[in-house]
Each structure stands twice: as C-alpha cells, then as structure tokens.
Amino acid sequence: MKTILAAFISIVVISPAHAQSLFGGFVYLRDVDSSIIQDIRYATSNNFVGRPLAGYDAGECVVKREVGLRLKAVQQELAAQNLSLKMFDCYRPARASLDMVKWSQNGHETAAERRYNPKIPKTELFRLGYIASRSQHSTGAALDLTLVDLKADNSGKYDPSRSYADCTAPAEARAPEGSVDMGTGYDCTDTKGHTAAPSINPDQRAWRKRLVTAMARQGFVNYSKEWWHFSLPGAGGAAYDFPIQPRRN
C-alpha cells in the first residue's frame, strides 16, 4: 500500500472550487456531442464495487477536448449506420482508483461482485492487469465504451433486486446494458472479455471488430484484455483528482 500511495504523490490534485471550470483541457462530452449515449457506471451502484466510487458526484463523461472531438468524429461515422457510442467511463478521479484498491483489500466478496469476477479473486485483479492503482483514465487518455444498435429494443433496465448470471453468460441472462452483445458484460474480468477471445461467437466477434475499427480510424488503441477499453496515445500526461461534478446547462 505504501508503494501505491507514493505513486500518487505526483498526481495533480485540484480543489472542488475549480472543478466546474474544467481546467487542464477537459470538457463535458455532452458539450461536444450530445448524441453520444452515456451510462457512467461508477456514478451508480451498477458496477463491480456495488456503489458509486469516490469522486463520481455526477454521471457525466468528462474528456480531454481532443478526445471529445475524435469521439464526435467516430459518432458521426456510426450514425450513418444507425449505431451510437455508449460511454461507460471517461475521466476517472485518482481517488476512485484508490477506492478500488481499498475495495480489493476489504476481505470479502459478495455474489454481486462475483458476477464481474466469476473466476478471479478480486485480490488478484491488480496483479493480472484488470485494474490499475494509477489509471490512464485519470490522465484523460482512456475511455470505456460500447456500441448501441439504434434500431434494436434497448429498453431493458438494470434491476438491483434481481440475481443476474455472471458477465460471461448469454446476454439474455446477464444484467441488461442496452447495447449490442459483445460476448460479455462491461468490466468482465475473464479471458472471454479479452478482445480477441476465441470463445465468443461470430456475431460477437464482428461487433468487437466493428468497434475497434471505428475507434482506430480516429487514432484510438484498444487494450487487448478489455474489449471496451480504448486510449488515445499522446492525449494523457499528469493524473488528475478533481471530482466529476454536475454539468451546468
């Protein structure tokens, strides 16, 4: 833990009073392209921790301006195909990553948590590279997202009172995400969540390829262990820790 804390000494910590002004080249994605669907999961209880993470005071996607403009370009290409991006996570306050560290060390795992980690103990998630104590998300260079078929029925909603199958199960048994079937749910720490996993079916593989290809045209690079995770080389820098606050209309 001392090593983890030491790594955060270099993080740029900004007071909440300045967070709304979105310094450091950050913008609200809604101000760049309001058509991009947002489901910022760490601002809700619908995530592997089971509660909002520290620093997520609003369910808003905050990105570096360049990142937002490139996402807008991706969205424009997808719109012609009746598709949309759906954002799960964008900028992540550094305190949220520390919150994940504490969660991984709390000594117990619930059934809801195991939906996301069906085969891997949560104490192993950092060592295996599924979660980072110092995330690229905090620099503004990384994103978690998926595709939505705008012609499909996307009305299914997450019900916290239900017992869903784990993230590797067929889409009809998993928690609904209102998106195309990528073969696993979001944040699924399993080899089936690896982008090139051989265990998914041809349709799921085609959707993953479609997403990777669309993002690559704007310079985004996919992380091989997570089909949903993309980064923009050169867009990062210092890690930030300002909280995500509600956007003013």
Binding residues for Zn(2+), by number, are: 137, 144, 229
Q: What is the largest CA-CA distance in the chain?
A: 50
Q: Does the annotation count 177 as an active-site position?
A: no
Q: Cα-flanking dihedrals φ and ψ of residue 111, to 5°?
A: -60, -40
Phi, then psi, of 100 in degrees rounded to 5: -65, -40
Q: Exactly one of 109, 113, 124, 226 is catalytic; which is it?
A: 226
- Which H, E and C letters describe 46-100, residue by residue? CCCCCCCCCCECCCCCEEEHHHHHHHHHHHHHHHCCCEEEEEEECCCCHHHHHHH
Residues 6+ apart with CB under 8 A from 102: none
Query: Cα–Cα distances in Å, from 210 out to 82, 129, 143, 198?
Result: 13, 25, 17, 16
- Residues comprising the binding site? 137, 144, 229
Q: For residues 179 and 155, what is the distance between their CA atoms, to the nearest angstrom?
A: 10
Identify any residues that bridge with 222 across adjacent strands, giving them in sequence order. Answer: 230
Catalytic residue annotation: 226
